[in-house]
Amino acid sequence: MELITWVIASLAALLGVAWYLSYSAARLDRLHAKVEGALSALDANLVRRAESSLELANSGALDPASALLLASAAAEALERETDHSLPHDPLDGQTFAGREAVETDLTEAIVATVTAPVMERIVAEDGPAADELDRLLGAGRRVQFARNFHNQAVRDVRRVRGKRVVRWFRLAGYANLPEPVEFDDAVPGER
């Protein structure tokens, strides 16, 4: 009877370890999917911000030099894409691909051209440019939220992947370690 008890206890322990490893691997997979979804959301919000910047630049509410500066930065941001290392799966393996500098340039152009007096004048005129300004400010706030959400998801993945059991049993497989996205995403009036 003693041998059967040891065998049953050993099998129960092995099943418990197998369940824990399976649970940990599934959790890590969900966290990686969360990072990929968050990066896609950030990318979509950056495109919205660049488009609304371009619309405001073309609305005629800005002086020609400011409009040219803003339109140039917005066009550059729209031309850059998130890099996909696996073309057959647009979410798997995506990285921000060095877009930080371009997005920071767009932020600086927005802050430099859409100053407090310009915003007050656009709001006072209450024309179509006021709607464009509202869209731009809203898109800027959504970019901030999306970037913060993405970076929090990256921290979660890095924390879980830093655990010994994940490293020892290679539960992350061959997935790349996600990187946080850091760039200036200030909204006019915040500085």
Query: Could you give the angle at the alpha carbon of 122 between the alpha carbons of 117 and 126, nearest 5°?
Result: 145
Q: Is residue 158 part of a domain?
A: yes
pLDDT at 94: 58
Quick one: pLDDT at residue 167?
A: 93
Q: Is residue 140 part of a domain?
A: yes
Q: List the one residue out of 105, 86, 84 whose CA is nearest residue 94.
A: 84
Structural domains in the chain (count): 1
State the pLDDT confidence band at 33, using cuts at 50, 70 and 90: very high
User: How many residues are recorded in the chain?
Assistant: 191
The answer to whether position 186 is within a domain reads no
Q: Is position 117 within any domain?
A: yes
What gap in Å lies between CA 150 and CA 40, rounded to an integer? 9
What would the pLDDT profile of 47-89 be if each residue is shown by its tens digit?
Answer: 999 999 999 999 999 999 999 999 999 999 999 865 555 555 5
Report yes or no on 180 lying in a domain: no
Is 20 within the bounds of a domain? no
**DSSP character at residue 177:** P
Structural domain span for residue 101: 30-168
Query: Where would I find the H helices in 58-127?
Result: 64-79, 100-113, 116-125
What is the pLDDT, as a whole number, of residue 93? Answer: 52
Q: Per the domain annotation, does 129 fall within a domain?
A: yes
Express each pLDDT in 153-182 by its tens digit: 999 999 999 999 999 999 998 888 999 999
In a domain, 84, yes or no: yes
Query: Model's pTM, two decimal places?
Result: 0.87
